[in-house]
Structure 1
Amino acid sequence: MTRVLLVDDEPELLEAWSFALEYVGYDVERAREGRQALAAIQRQPPDLLITDLMMPGMNGEDLCRALRDDPRWTDIPIVLHTSAYVGSNDGTAPWNAVLRKPARMEDFLATVARLTQG
Structure 2
Amino acid sequence: MKRVLLVDDEYELLEALSFALTYAGYEVDCARDGCDALAHMQRQVPDIVVTDLMMPDMDGASLCRSVREHPQWARIPIALHTSAHVECGTSEPPPWDAFLRKPARMDDVLSTVERLLTRA
TM-score normalised over the length of structure 1? 0.96
* Sequence identity (%): 61
State the distance in 1 between where 2:16 and 2:87 align.
26
Letter in 1 for 2:108: D
Aligned to 1:99: 100
In the other structure, the counterpart of 1:113 is 114
Deviates more, 1:86-95 or 1:51-60: 86-95
Distance in 1 between residues matched to 2:92 and 2:104, nearest whole Å: 22
Following TM superposition, the consecutive aligned residue runs of length 4 or more in structure 1 with deviations greater than 2 angstroms are 87-91
Runs of at least 5 residues in structure 2 that lack an aligned partner in the other structure: none
Superposition CA RMSD, Å: 1.2
Query: Which one-letter code corresponds to 2:40 in the other structure?
Result: A
d(CA) in 1 for partners of 2:48, 2:40: 12
Pairing of 1:34-113 with structure 2 (within 5 A): 34-88=34-88, 92-113=93-114
User: Could you tell me how far 1:87 is from its partner in structure 2?
Assistant: 3.1
Q: State the 1:91 CA deviation.
A: 5.3
Deviation at 1:117, TM superposition (A): 1.6
Q: Name the counterpart of 2:10.
A: 10
The 2-side partners of 1:81 and 1:65 are apart by 16
Length, aligned pairs only:
118
Runs of 5+ consecutive residues of structure 1 not aligned to the other structure: none
Distance 1:106 1:64, change over 3 A: same
Letter in 2 for 1:30: C
Shift of residue 44 of structure 1? Answer: 1.3
SS in 2 for 1:98: strand
TM-score in terms of structure 2 length? 0.94
Cα displacement string for residues 53-108 of structure 1 (whole angstroms, at most 9, x for unaligned residues): 00000000000000111111100000000001113486520000000001011111
